[in-house]
Amino acid sequence: LINDFSAALEKISSEDWISFRARLWEFEDFVEHWLEEARKCPAGPVADNMKTVLHTLKDVAPNLKLVRGDGFESAHWADLFRKLGIPKVDLASLTVGHFVQASSKIVEASEDLKQLNARASGEVSIREALAEVKAWALDTHFSLTEYTERDRTTPLIKEWKDLTTQVSDMQSLLGSLKESAWFQPFAEEVHSYESKLAQLDECLGQLNVIQRKWVYLEPIFGRGAMPHEAARFDRVDADFRNLLLSVADDPRVLSILKTPNLKELLSTVLDQLERCQKALADFLEEKRQKFPRFYFIGDDDLLEILGQAKNPEVIQAHLKKLFAGIHKVAFAGAEGESKAIASMISLDGESVPLVSPVQVTDQVEVWLQSLSDLMRATLSDALAGALRSRETDLQRSSQQVLLVSEMIAFTADAEAALAQGGGGALDKLKATLVQRLNDYTQLETDSALVQTKLKALLLDLIHNMDVVDQLLAARAGGAADWTWR
């Protein structure tokens, strides 16, 4: 029996530890089996020695899990061998027998071994986290798109939110490692990555702002606006494009940190772009101060007007935003040749000739102010003429002039009737209005524009008749009567 036990013990001791550690239950079965056999053995020194060995192995069996070495690095194995007095041995040569011989020390050092396993486990978590950060640093690339303007292409960064979120996640992951009791051996590597991520976070924040400002300003300066600031923008433009072109050559996110003097470069570019933008804002504000209707439109539209002040298509596109009643204008002479505005046209197609043409010049705020002044002068002259003639010319008079002149005439007629004491005079005015209503309703026309004017006149006429009815009902007898006022 002793010989069989010795042979069985030698056999299991010869097993290589790395493969056997996954089958520790076999060791426990081995001990239980031979303990059962030992109980059957006659009493004596040999049997007692066998039982002593088996009880030692029984004590060590549950502690073998402490020397499995899962997640152990070379430093952990060296520490384990030192604690158990095992000679330094390659893992390929490590056997179950090494731990059988150190059974007593395994039991005695169980608390130290638990600490060693906790340390190894904690360090595994840190290594895995660092491996994740390393993989992210190697594999994460900028997502780029191409921006083409002035026959040149510039790579631009997109998906900023996803990228900054990833950087924040990596920073949080590294920060969480500091809470580990086993952090110290990795402190230098963690601090290195933290420094890189902090630089990257700051760089991305500035670069995002720079890119948005550049995309806004590039088309403006590209078409020659503000030549006195062009030199400044050209320098910034060159620096920005060189940086983005280098990013396109090596799109790995952390590679941007290799750019020489990156922090100073970004600060300078951002400062110069802000100066360009401020100069642009001051320039536009100056133009708006000269012609306040420019406040009705955005910077892009205003810049287009200023840059192409004599382009008829640009003029037509933006005039409707500056003047609510002007849908477009008509130029004197042949289309595309003349630079003088001869008339203004409403959305309904109603054309009102200006009293004199407006010359379109490079000083856009000057000729637009002239257009505004002549618009008022034209309508004022037309209204004065309509009031003098007291005729309703649906064909030639503009709708605005017709309606205003009709209301002024009605007001004058009503006050004249009230000055005569109301009553009969108001009855005559009412009869006149009814007759005019009949005349209007009997008019026939195929012109959509005349029909629009006629509908507006009829609405005002019906309102005026209602006003006269109210005056009659209230027995108004003078212009100072409360009902009239």
Query: pLDDT of 244-269, one tens digit each?
Result: 999 999 999 999 999 999 999 999 99
pLDDT higher than threshold 60 for residue 446 = yes
Q: What is the pLDDT of residue 46?
A: 67
Average pLDDT over residues 6-19: 85
pLDDT higher than threshold 60 for residue 426 = yes
CA pair distance 29, 52, nearest whole angstrom: 17
Q: What is the pLDDT of residue 56?
A: 82
Give the H/E segment covering residue 47.
helix 45-60
At 204, give phi and psi (nearest 5°). -65, -40
pLDDT higher than threshold 60 for residue 401 = yes
CA pair distance 188, 190, nearest whole angstrom: 6
At 346, give phi and psi (nearest 5°). -85, 175
Average pLDDT over residues 202-220: 92
CA pair distance 479, 282, nearest whole angstrom: 53
Percentage above 90 pLDDT, the chain: 39
Q: What is the pLDDT of residue 336?
A: 52
Average pLDDT over residues 343-359: 90
Return the biggest CA–CA distance within the chain. Answer: 152
Q: What is the pLDDT of residue 214?
A: 93
Average pLDDT over residues 85-101: 83
CA pair distance 238, 17, nearest whole angstrom: 64
Q: What is the pLDDT of residue 60?
A: 81
Least confident of 26-35, 66-75, 183-192, 275-284: 66-75
Q: What is the pLDDT of residue 465?
A: 93
Least confident of 332-341, 391-400, 440-449, 458-467: 332-341
pLDDT higher than threshold 90 for residue 210 = yes
CA pair distance 71, 20, nearest whole angstrom: 16
Higher pLDDT, 422 or 205: 205
pLDDT higher than threshold 90 for residue 134 = yes
SS (H, E, C) 369-437: HHHHHHHHHHHHHHHHHHHHHCCCCCCCCCHHHHHHHHHHHHHHHHHHHHHCCCCHHHHHHHHHHHHHH
- Is residue 400 classed exposed, middle or buried when 0-12, 13-18 and 19+ CB atoms within 10 A define those classes? middle
Average pLDDT over residues 308-330: 84
Q: Give residue-wise pLDDT tens across range 456-467.
A: 999 999 999 999
pLDDT higher than threshold 60 for residue 421 = yes
Q: What is the pLDDT of residue 29?
A: 86
Q: Determine the number of helices (DSSP H) and then strands (DSSP E) in the chain.
A: 18, 5
pLDDT higher than threshold 90 for residue 202 = yes
* Position 335 confidence tier, pLDDT thresholds 50, 70, 90: low
| In contact, 207 and 157? CB cutoff 8 Å | yes
- Reduced to 3 states (helix: H, G, I; strand: E, B; else coil), residue 135 is helix
| In contact, 460 and 453? CB cutoff 8 Å | no
CA pair distance 378, 385, nearest whole angstrom: 11
Higher pLDDT, 181 or 277: 277
DSSP helix, strand, coil percent of the chain (3-state; round to 5): 70, 10, 20
Q: Give residue-wise pLDDT tens across range 286-306.
A: 989 999 999 998 888 888 888
Q: What is the mean pLDDT of the chain?
A: 87
Higher pLDDT, 185 or 415: 415
CB pairs under 8 A, 24+ apart, for 218-227?
218/149, 219/149, 220/280, 220/303, 221/276, 222/149, 222/150, 223/307, 224/307, 225/280, 225/303, 225/306, 225/307, 226/279, 226/280, 226/283
Of these ranges, 184-198, 223-237, 388-402, the one predicted with the greatest mean pLDDT is: 184-198
Average pLDDT over residues 412-424: 88
Higher pLDDT, 357 or 88: 357
* Position 337 confidence tier, pLDDT thresholds 50, 70, 90: low
Average pLDDT over residues 103-107: 81
CA pair distance 177, 130, nearest whole angstrom: 9
**Residue 340 CA from chain centroid, whole number:** 44
Nearest 5 degrees, angle CA 412-CA 415-CA 421? 150
Residue 435: CB atoms within 10 A of its CB come to 10
Measured CA to CA in angstroms, residue 15 lies from 40, 58, 90, 389, 454 at distances of 28, 18, 14, 123, 110
Q: List the alpha helices (DSSP H) in 102-253.
A: 103-108, 110-139, 160-177, 187-222, 230-249
The alpha carbon dihedral of 337, 343, 348, 349 has a sign of negative
Lookup result for tokens 């990555």: 193
| In contact, 334 and 316? CB cutoff 8 Å | no
pLDDT higher than threshold 80 for residue 404 = yes
**Residue 391 CA from chain centroid, whole number:** 60
Q: What is the pLDDT of residue 139?
A: 92
- Is residue 336 classed exposed, middle or buried when 0-12, 13-18 and 19+ CB atoms within 10 A define those classes? exposed
Higher pLDDT, 242 or 226: 242
Lookup result for tokens 């059962």: 36
Lookup result for tokens 């003029």: 315
Least confident of 265-274, 326-335, 360-369: 326-335
Nearest 5 degrees, angle CA 188-CA 192-CA 198? 140
Average pLDDT over residues 16-29: 84
Structure tokens belonging to residue 111: 């608390």
Q: What is the pLDDT of residue 398?
A: 87
Q: What is the pLDDT of residue 381?
A: 93
* Position 213 confidence tier, pLDDT thresholds 50, 70, 90: very high
* Position 37 confidence tier, pLDDT thresholds 50, 70, 90: confident
CA pair distance 429, 386, nearest whole angstrom: 20
For residue 145, the cross-strand partners are 156
Higher pLDDT, 475 or 151: 475
Average pLDDT over residues 44-64: 79
